[in-house]
A and B are shown apart, each in its own frame.
Chain A
Amino acid sequence: MSSPSVLSLLVACLTLSGCGEALHSQQPPPKWTTGFWLWQGSPARTVVLPAPLDVLYFQAGTIEGGDVYNRGWSVFANLPAELPSAREYWIVLRFGHQSVPDASIAEAVAKRASELRALAQLRHQWNVVGLQLDIDSPTRLLPEYAKFLGEVRKGLPPEIQISITALLDWFHDGTAVTEVINHVDEFVPQFYDVGKPNLYAGGPVVAARLDGATWGSVFNRFQKRFRIGVSSFGRALRVTGGRPEAMSPSYIYNDLAPVDVAGNPAFRLEVSKNAVDELVLTYRATREVSLGYNRFPPGEAIQFILPTSAEIRSATESARKIGGYCSGVIFFRWPSSSEILAMEPDEALAAAGVPPEVKKEPDSIEAIDGGCAAVKCVDIYLLDSTPLRPAPVRYRIHSSEQLEYFLPEGKIPIRMAGPSDLELSLPPYGGRRRMQLGRAVSATRSDFTVQEVK
C-alpha cells in the first residue's frame, strides 16, 4: 500500500471514528413517558392526578440580551413556588428572540441551572434531571447554537442533562442540526405552530400532523433520545375574510373564551374540524357589533382553535409508532390557573392513553363565601365537567334555603326561577370549566345543588 493510500485510510478511519464519537449514540430508551411543559406567567392550574406525572418541564426563566438596547447578556431564573407532582423535572430556560445567545452567557446559564437544581432538591425535593433550552434558532445559525451548547455543557456537572426544543425546519437536508444534537442528551421536536411567525400559514390550525413513518427515520438517525412536543393548547383569533380559505388573522386574544361570544346574538357560530382534528369554532359577526373595545364589522369573526381528544390520541399513537429512540410525548402545555383554551391535564393524559383514567366528576356548584356580616352572601360557581358541549344546555340550581335575591355576574344567562331556584341556559360551546354565575344572598347558610334539565 502506498503512503498516500495509507494516509487516506488513516484519515478515513479517524474521520469515521470521529463521526461515531460525535453522534454520542445512546441505547434506545426503555420506557415511554408522558409529560407536560409548564410555562411561566401565572400559577399553574391545580389538578389532582391519581399518580405523579412522568416528567414535567417547567420554565424557570429566560436568557436576556442581544436586543436593540444592547444591555449585555443575563439569565433570570427562579423556581416556581409550587409545581404539579412529577417523577422527573427539567428546568427550562427560554430565549425569546429568533437568534442564538452569545457564548459568553453560557457559563452563567450552566451556573444558574446548577444552583436551581440544588435549590429544588433542598427546598422541594424535586428530582431535577436536566436543563432544557428553548431557543428558536434560525436554521442558518445552528452552527452557532451548537457552539453555545458546547459552552453550556462545559459548565454543567455531568449529572445535569441537556435537552433542547427543536424546530422541524432544522431537520431539512444540509443543516447543521447534527452538530447541535451532538451536544445534548435529548431533543424535543415541536409539532405545533409550524408556520411561525405567520401562525395562520396552514389555515386555522395549531397542531402539526405527525407522520411517524417519515419523521421517525429522520429523528432516529441521530441515535439520541427524543420526545415529541404535542400541542394541547388552543388559540383565539380575530379573523377577516369571508370564506375559510380566504381568512387571515389580525389579532390573537389571550383571555377570550367561546362563552364570551356564544351568548351574543350578533355572532353566528360555524363549527368545523381542521385537518388535524382540532375543533374550530368561528363566531362571525352578522352585523356591526362591539366586544369590549373591539368593533367587528359584519363578516369579521372570532375563531377558536381548540385541542380535542382525537387530535391528542392521534398524535400520541403516531409518536408511539416511531419507536427507536423516541421516549415519549410532552404536551404544551399545563394550563395556568386562569387559562381557558388549553386542555385539562387529566383529559390530555386520558387521550394519550395514560392509565388510570381519572373518573369525570359530575357537574357541581361551588359556593364561596362573599364575606357579608349581616346576610349570607355567596359567589356561585358552576363546575362544568363538559364546558364545550355542542348543544345548548339548561341547568336548574337549587338552594336549600330561600334566596333573598340573586345578582347575576355580567351577562351570564341566569335568572331566579322560584324562591329557591335558579335557571341557567348555556348556548353551544358556551360553558366554562369553572364559571362564576353570580352572587346569591340568603338570610342563613344555604347549600346548592345543580341538575341538568333534559
Chain B
Amino acid sequence: MKTGSRIFTCSATLLFGLAFLWACPFDDTLRAYLDGHFWLPFSRHSESFEKKGIRRISAPFAGMVKSKGFQPLETLRAAYQEIPVPQPYQPVAPAPYDFAKPRRALAAARTDPSLSRRDREEVDLVDAKIDMREGQPDQPASLLSAKKKLEQFLKVARTPELLSEARGWLAHVDYALGDQTAAGKIYLDELNRNGSNLSRETLLTSLKMTYGYDGGQKLLDHLDEYFDTPEHAAFAIQLVTNPHWDDYGRNGYERQYTRRDPRPDRAAQSYARIQRLLALHTDLLASQTGADALALLTMRTALRMGDPPGVLKIAEMIPTGDAIRSEPDFEWMLASAHFISHEYAAAEQPLLDLFKSPRASAGQKAAAAYGLCGVYRKLDNPVEQIRFALYSPQGDRGAYPSDGNEDMSVYFAESGWDFSLLLDAEAPTEALKAFVDKYPDMPGTHLVKYALAVRLARVNRYEESAQLYDSLRETASRQKPADRSQAYELGAETASAIRRAPRMRQLATLYEEANRSDVSSEQLQTARYKLADFIRSHPDQIYFNDHLWSGVQRYALYANTDDRLTGEERQSEIDAERKLKDDQEERWRAYLILRDVIRDAGKTELGRKAAELAVLCVRRIARDRFGRQDELARADVDLSKWLAQK
C-alpha cells in the first residue's frame, strides 16, 4: 500500500512537472534583432484606429425595453425578447424556434394607429431584426431580407439611437453573409462616430471578428473598395501590412513536410497594387495630416513588402524638422530600413530618437533599446550594447512592458540571454570595465560589476576580483531596492559577493604559490596540486556566473546552428561559446592544472594523487553540457591506465 501510494505520488509529481514544462517553456529568444521580422512595422489592431474623445450614448435597443402592458408594441417587444439568442458551442442544438409568434405581434403592432413616429421606427427595426434572428449563414434568404429592410430603414428613419443600432445590425448581417468590406466599414465608422449607440467594446470585438489579424484574403481582394475615405484606406492598408511571424518557430519537421502559410506571401505580392492604389488616391490624403499619413502608409507598405530602399527614399523626401520625423512609427521604420540595408551606423540615430521620444510607448522604447543592441553589436561597441541590453521598461530587466510590445511584432527577449551572453562571453573584459567606469550609477550596473569580477577570476586576476566583490557588497548596503524582486536579486547577489570575496583572496594566494619561480619543482607541483584541489572543490563557485543563467545556459549556446550570423560572426561566436564553457568549468580547469602536475611529477606519490584527482574531475564534468566528450573519455582511459601501471 505504501509503495503504491509512493508510486502514485511520484507519477503525479512527474506528470505535474511535465505538464508545467509543456505549458510554460522557457523563453529561448536570442539575438532577435538578427531576424527579419524583428524589423517589420509595428502591428495594428482595431484599437489603433480609435479616435480619442468620442462620445457615445447607451439607449435601449429596439424591442428590448421591458414590457409592462399589453399594448401591441409592448406585446411585440415581449415576443421579440422571447426569441432565443444563438449560443455558440452548444452541445445539443436547440429546438427550432417558431417565428410565427413575433410575426403575429409585429402585424398587430403595425395596425396600431396610436404609435408615434419613433414607435413606428422601432417596429420597423424589430421587423428587420426578426428576419435577422431567423437567418443563418447557411440559409441566407432571411438574412438578405433583413439586409433589405435595414437599408430601407436607414434611408427613412430619423431617430438617432435607432439609426445607430440599425447600422450595427446591418454590419452584423453583412458579416453573416460574408461581406467583410461592407461590415468592416460600418463598424469602423461607428467606432469613431459621436453619438453612436454601439459600445466601444462591441465595435472593437466586431472589428476583430470581421478582420482577424490582417483581414485575410478577403481584405486583399477588396482593397480598392476601401479607398473611399482616408480612414478606410488607412485602416485597410495598415491591416493588410501587419507583420507576420508565420515561419518563425517552424521546426525542421514542419519545414520538411509542410509548406508555410502562403498568406504573408500573397500580401507581399500585392506590393505593386498597394503602391498603385496609394498613388491613384493621393486626393484622399491631400491635407497636411493626410500627406503625413500617406507618407507613413507608403513607408509601412514598403517595409512590410521587403523594400527598404523604398522606405529610405520616402524618408529622404520629408524635410528635416517636419513633425512627421518625430513620429515613433517614422523613427522605427527609418531605423529598420537602414538596419536591413546593413547601414548599421545610420540606424543608430533614429533608434536613439525613438528611445528618447516622449511620444513613444514603453513597448516602442523597448523595441528601440533591443534594436540598439543589434546596432551596437554590428558596430562593435560593446559598452553601448551593454547599456541598452540593460534597459528595462519596467525597471526589471527582461520584463515585458505593460503595453504588450510582443503584440507590435517586436519581442523584447524575456530570456535575458542576450544580456547574459554579452556579459559572460561576448564583450571583452575591458568593455565591462569601461562600462562600469562610464555608467557607474546606471540601474543594473551591479550586474556588470559582478560579471566583471567573475571574468577577472577566469583570467586569474583574483585580487581585483575580490575587490570588486567587496565593492558590490558595500554598494548593496547603501542601495534601497525599488521592489521585492530587486531586493531579492540584490540580496542574493550580495550574499554571493560576500562568499566569493574571501574565496578569491584564497585563490590569489594559492595561485601566487603555484606560480612561484623561487621554489623547488616538488614544492611548485605541490602548490599547483593544492590550487587544483581548491578549484575543483568549488564547482560553480569561482568561474561560473551564478547570477546570469537561471540554470538554462546550455540552451543559449547554439551559435553552430544560428543561421542569422555572417560566416565570420558565426565562427567567432562558436569560439566564444567554447571558450566560455572551458573558462567557467572549475573541474576542467583543475584537470588542466593536474595534467601538468602529473606530467612534471611523474610516477611519484604526488603524481598518483594528482592523477586520482584528475580522474575525479574528468568523470564529474557534465559532458552533455560541456562538450569535448571524446577528449574527456580519452583522458579518463589514459589516466586510469596510467594509474594501473606499476
Could you list which residues of chain A lie within 8 angstroms of chain B, going by C-beta atoms?
72, 115, 118-119, 122-123, 255, 337-338, 340, 368-375, 377, 379, 404-405, 407, 409-410, 435-436, 439, 441, 443
* Whole-angstrom distance between the Cβ of A173 and the nearest chain B Cβ: 44
Q: Among B39, B139, B140, B255, point to the contact of A436 (Cβ < 8 A).
A: B255
* Whole-angstrom distance between the Cβ of A273 and the nearest chain B Cβ: 28
Q: Who on chain B is nearest to A370 by CB?
A: B563
Is B563 in contact with A373, judged by CB distance below 8 angstroms?
no
B139 partner residues in chain A, CB cutoff 8 A: 115
Q: State whether the Cβ of B339 lies closer than 8 Å to any Cβ in chain A.
A: yes
Is A373 in contact with B256, judged by CB distance below 8 angstroms?
no
Q: Among A337, A371, A375, point to the contact of B566 (Cβ < 8 A).
A: A375
Which among B39, B342, B566, B570 has the greatest number of chain A C-beta atoms within 10 A?
A: B566
B248 partner residues in chain A, CB cutoff 8 A: 371
Interface set, chain B 548-581, CB cutoff 8 A to A: 561, 563-567, 570
Q: How far is the CA of A157 from the CA of B570 in the complex (A)?
A: 67
Please name the 5 residue pairs, one residue from A and one from B, whose CB atoms are nearest each other, closest first.
Answer: A404-B567, A371-B36, A338-B257, A372-B564, A436-B256
A368 partner residues in chain B, CB cutoff 8 A: 260
Q: How far is the CA of A379 from the CA of B259 in the complex (A)?
A: 12
* Whole-angstrom distance between the Cβ of B59 and the nearest chain A Cβ: 36
Q: Answer whether A375 and B35 are a contact pair too, CB < 8 Å, given A368-B260, A410-B252, A436-B255.
A: no
Is A373 in contact with B34, judged by CB distance below 8 angstroms?
yes
A407 partner residues in chain B, CB cutoff 8 A: 561, 563
B342 partner residues in chain A, CB cutoff 8 A: 374
Q: Among B38, B138, B252, B339, point to the contact of A118 (Cβ < 8 A).
A: B138
Is A373 in contact with B339, judged by CB distance below 8 angstroms?
yes
Q: State whether the Cβ of B603 lies closer than 8 Å to any Cβ in chain A.
A: no
Is B140 in contact with A338, judged by CB distance below 8 angstroms?
no
Q: State whether the Cβ of B42 lies closer than 8 Å to any Cβ in chain A.
A: no
Q: State whether the Cβ of B247 lies closer than 8 Å to any Cβ in chain A.
A: yes
B92 partner residues in chain A, CB cutoff 8 A: 72
* Whole-angstrom distance between the Cβ of A399 and the nearest chain B Cβ: 14
Q: Who on chain B is nearest to A368 by CB?
A: B260
Q: Per-position contact with A for B237-262: 1 when CB-CB < 8 Å, else 0? A: 00000000001100010011111100
Is A410 in contact with B570, judged by CB distance below 8 angstroms?
no
* Whole-angstrom distance between the Cβ of A94 and the nearest chain B Cβ: 21
Is B35 in contact with A373, judged by CB distance below 8 angstroms?
yes
Is A123 in contact with B564, judged by CB distance below 8 angstroms?
no
Interface size (B, Cβ < 8 Å)? 33
Q: Answer whether A441 and B567 are a contact pair too, CB < 8 Å, given A337-B259, A371-B247.
A: yes
* Whole-angstrom distance between the Cβ of B468 and the nearest chain A Cβ: 34
Q: Who on chain A is nearest to B246 by CB?
A: A371
Q: How far is the CA of A337 from the CA of B342 in the complex (A)?
A: 37
Q: Among B35, B256, B563, point to the contact of A441 (Cβ < 8 A).
A: B563
* Whole-angstrom distance between the Cβ of A446 and the nearest chain B Cβ: 14
Q: Among B138, B374, B563, point to the contact of A372 (Cβ < 8 A).
A: B563
Q: Answer whether A371 and B37 are a contact pair too, CB < 8 Å, given A255-B257, A379-B255.
A: yes
Q: State whether the Cβ of B33 lies closer than 8 Å to any Cβ in chain A.
A: yes
**Between-chain CB contacts (< 8 Å), 25 pairs:** A115-B138, A115-B139, A122-B140, A255-B257, A338-B258, A370-B247, A371-B37, A371-B248, A372-B36, A372-B563, A373-B34, A373-B38, A373-B374, A374-B374, A374-B378, A374-B565, A374-B566, A375-B564, A375-B565, A375-B566, A379-B255, A404-B570, A436-B255, A441-B566, A443-B566
A436 partner residues in chain B, CB cutoff 8 A: 252, 255-256
Which among B33, B256, B342 has the greatest number of chain A C-beta atoms within 10 A?
A: B256
Q: How far is the CA of A341 from the CA of B92 in the complex (A)?
A: 40
Is B257 in contact with A377, judged by CB distance below 8 angstroms?
no
Q: Who on chain A is nearest to B570 by CB?
A: A405
Given contacts A119-B138, A373-B564, A375-B563, 6 further A-B contacts (CB under 8 A): A340-B257, A372-B564, A374-B565, A407-B563, A435-B256, A443-B566
Could you list which residues of chain B lie within 8 angstroms of chain A, going by C-beta atoms?
33-39, 92, 138-140, 178, 247-248, 252, 255-260, 339-340, 342, 374, 378, 561, 563-567, 570
B34 partner residues in chain A, CB cutoff 8 A: 372-374
Is B38 in contact with A409, judged by CB distance below 8 angstroms?
no
* Whole-angstrom distance between the Cβ of B345 and the nearest chain A Cβ: 14
Q: Who on chain A is nearest to B37 by CB?
A: A371
A375 partner residues in chain B, CB cutoff 8 A: 563-566
Is A337 in contact with B567, judged by CB distance below 8 angstroms?
no
Q: How far is the CA of A443 from the CA of B566 in the complex (A)?
A: 7
Q: Who on chain B is nearest to A437 by CB?
A: B256
A338 partner residues in chain B, CB cutoff 8 A: 257-258
Is A374 in contact with B564, judged by CB distance below 8 angstroms?
yes
Q: How far is the CA of A377 from the CA of B561 in the complex (A)?
A: 12
Q: Among A123, A404, A405, A441, point to the contact of B178 (Cβ < 8 A).
A: A123
B33 partner residues in chain A, CB cutoff 8 A: 373
B564 partner residues in chain A, CB cutoff 8 A: 372-375, 377
A337 partner residues in chain B, CB cutoff 8 A: 258-259
Q: How far is the CA of A294 from the CA of B514 in the complex (A)?
A: 53
Which among A369, A371, A409 has the greatest number of chain B C-beta atoms within 10 A?
A: A371
A373 partner residues in chain B, CB cutoff 8 A: 33-36, 38-39, 339-340, 374, 564
B258 partner residues in chain A, CB cutoff 8 A: 337-338
Q: Who on chain B is nearest to A108 by CB?
A: B93
Q: Answer whether A377 and B563 are a contact pair too, CB < 8 Å, given A338-B257, A409-B252.
A: yes
Q: Who on chain A is nearest to B140 by CB?
A: A122
* Whole-angstrom distance between the Cβ of B312 and the nearest chain A Cβ: 15
Q: How far is the CA of A344 from the CA of B417 in the complex (A)?
A: 46
Q: Answer whether A410 and B256 are a contact pair too, CB < 8 Å, given A374-B378, A375-B564.
A: yes
Which among B257, B374, B570 has the greatest number of chain A C-beta atoms within 10 A?
A: B257
* Whole-angstrom distance between the Cβ of B471 and the nearest chain A Cβ: 38
* Whole-angstrom distance between the Cβ of B216 and the nearest chain A Cβ: 11
Is A404 in contact with B255, judged by CB distance below 8 angstroms?
no
B247 partner residues in chain A, CB cutoff 8 A: 370-371
Q: How far is the CA of A369 from the CA of B564 in the complex (A)?
A: 12
Q: Who on chain A is nearest to B340 by CB?
A: A373
* Whole-angstrom distance between the Cβ of A46 and the nearest chain B Cβ: 8
Q: How far is the CA of A337 from the CA of B258 in the complex (A)?
A: 7
Q: Who on chain B is nearest to A115 by CB?
A: B138
B563 partner residues in chain A, CB cutoff 8 A: 370, 372, 375, 377, 407, 439, 441
Is B257 in contact with A405, judged by CB distance below 8 angstroms?
no
Q: Who on chain B is nearest to A123 by CB?
A: B178
* Whole-angstrom distance between the Cβ of A74 and the nearest chain B Cβ: 9
* Whole-angstrom distance between the Cβ of B137 and the nearest chain A Cβ: 8
Q: How far is the CA of A119 from the CA of B177 in the complex (A)?
A: 11
Q: Who on chain B is nearest to A432 by CB?
A: B256
Q: How far is the CA of A141 from the CA of B480 in the complex (A)?
A: 82
A123 partner residues in chain B, CB cutoff 8 A: 178
Q: How far is the CA of A410 from the CA of B255 in the complex (A)?
A: 11
Is B567 in contact with A405, judged by CB distance below 8 angstroms?
yes
Is A409 in contact with B178, judged by CB distance below 8 angstroms?
no
Which among A72, A255, A340, A404 has the greatest number of chain B C-beta atoms within 10 A?
A: A404
* Whole-angstrom distance between the Cβ of B339 and the nearest chain A Cβ: 6
Q: How far is the CA of A368 from the CA of B247 in the complex (A)?
A: 10
Q: Answer whether A371 and B561 are a contact pair too, CB < 8 Å, given A123-B178, A379-B255, A410-B256.
A: no
Q: How far is the CA of A122 from the CA of B177 in the complex (A)?
A: 10
Q: How far is the CA of A409 from the CA of B254 in the complex (A)?
A: 12
Q: How far is the CA of A371 from the CA of B265 in the complex (A)?
A: 12
* Whole-angstrom distance between the Cβ of A410 and the nearest chain B Cβ: 6
Q: How far is the CA of A431 from the CA of B329 in the complex (A)?
A: 47
Q: How far is the CA of A302 from the CA of B295 in the complex (A)?
A: 61
Q: Who on chain B is nearest to A112 by CB?
A: B138
* Whole-angstrom distance between the Cβ of B244 and the nearest chain A Cβ: 10
A379 partner residues in chain B, CB cutoff 8 A: 255
Q: Among A370, A377, A409, point to the contact of B256 (Cβ < 8 A).
A: A409
Q: Who on chain A is nearest to B32 by CB?
A: A373
Q: How far is the CA of A410 from the CA of B563 in the complex (A)?
A: 15
A404 partner residues in chain B, CB cutoff 8 A: 566-567, 570
B260 partner residues in chain A, CB cutoff 8 A: 368
* Whole-angstrom distance between the Cβ of A226 and the nearest chain B Cβ: 32
Q: Who on chain A is nearest to B39 by CB?
A: A373
Q: How far is the CA of A119 from the CA of B178 in the complex (A)?
A: 12
